[in-house]
Amino acid sequence: MQEFSDFLRHKYAYIAIATFKPGKFPEAQKLFEQAVATYNQGFEGAYLFQKPNTDEGIAFIIWEKIEDMEENQSAIYQKIMEKMKHLFVSPPETDFYEVSTEIRN
């Protein structure tokens, strides 16, 4: 049974906003999916958004705790991220946000 305090805990969202080199979004998407497949402890879900008709994207990854993301950066994950580096026009803007509201169907 869940404790009441469990409902008071907030998840965290890691947000990365990036522009990819022309035509490189599909390759970045494939690598994003491979990287996310390596996550386990504390991982709650991930989304990758693409602005229509552009190579601009936003990655949105939900974690139970910020530390969970750091703990999920395995050697395999690091290799995938290394492959992705050359696809960016410039380094992505990244930050963590506390999930203050979650609404589901």
CATH, residue 48: 3.30.70.100
pLDDT digits (tens, 9 = 90+) for 82-102: 999 999 999 999 999 999 988
Q: Which of 1-10, 28-37, 65-74 has the lowest mean pLDDT?
A: 1-10
Sign of the CA dihedral with 50 first, then 55, 56, and 57 last: positive
Percent of the chain with pLDDT over 70: 92
Rounded to an integer, what distance in angstroms lies between the CA atom of residue 87 and that of residue 66?
A: 26
Assigned domain for 41 exists: yes
Q: Which domain holds residue 47?
A: 10-98
Assigned domain for 1 exists: no
Assigned domain for 72 exists: yes
Q: Quick one: how far is CA 103 from the chain centroid?
A: 19
**pLDDT exceeds cutoff 50 at 1:** no
Q: What are phi and psi of 88, to 5 degrees?
A: -80, 145
Average pLDDT over residues 51-63: 97
**How many domains does the chain divide into?**
1
For position 7, what pLDDT does the model report? 57
pLDDT digits (tens, 9 = 90+) for 33-48: 999 999 999 999 999 9
